[in-house]
Amino acid sequence: MDWLYISLFFHLVGVGMIFTLLLAGPIVESNYRWENDIRMKQHATKMLRNIGLLSPFGALVLVLSGIANMIVLNITFVDLFGSDFWLGLKILLFVVLLVMGMAISPKIAKQRALLLDQMSQQSPPEDVNDKLTSLNGEQTLFFVADWVLVIAILLLTLFKP
């Protein structure tokens, strides 16, 4: 049994999990944007939060299998700043992706859920729609930034400068 193939298999499983989340998020987001009913928007917001709860598992699989790959291939921490600089840069971009996913997206989701709750009340505050539009723009920017980082990671993987 070759440990490299096992660790690569799990790394591909983690990549698949992350790509599934990156595809599902914008799809549910577009459903949220097209919906006019507040209750359906709230449902879409809950779905986005549930999708986001799966991301730590994909990230954990990627991190553990990536460490296993480095151990099997005898890549040291020093190599990440020398001969395998592309891998160090890839890891740095992945860390940025993780931090954004842990810090930005949950904050936006929570704020949007609160605003939707306010909108469902009998007399919502006047600036709720403006705040919601602003948060929707932030969410779009977050999805675009995610995809830019993922494409950069893929390019580094494919072309290893």
**Tens digit of each residue's pLDDT (9 = 90 or more) over 52-74:** 888 889 999 999 999 999 999 99
Residue 161 has pLDDT above 80, yes or no: no
Return the half-sphere exposure (C-beta side, CA atoms, 13 A cut-off) of residue 80. Answer: 12
For 28-42, the pLDDT digits (tens) are 988 888 888 888 888
For 101-150, the pLDDT digits (tens) are 888 888 888 898 888 888 887 777 788 888 988 999 999 999 999 999 99
The residues, any chain, with a CB within 8 Å of residue 58's CB and separated by 6 or more, are: 14, 17, 18, 20, 21
Residue 1 has pLDDT above 70, yes or no: no
pLDDT category at 13 given cuts 50, 70, 90 is very high
pTM listed for this prediction: 0.85
Q: What are the two backbone dihedrals, phi and then psi, of residue 72, each rounded to the nearest 5 degrees?
A: -65, -35
Task: Say what percent of the chain tops pLDDT 90.
Answer: 48
DSSP 81: G
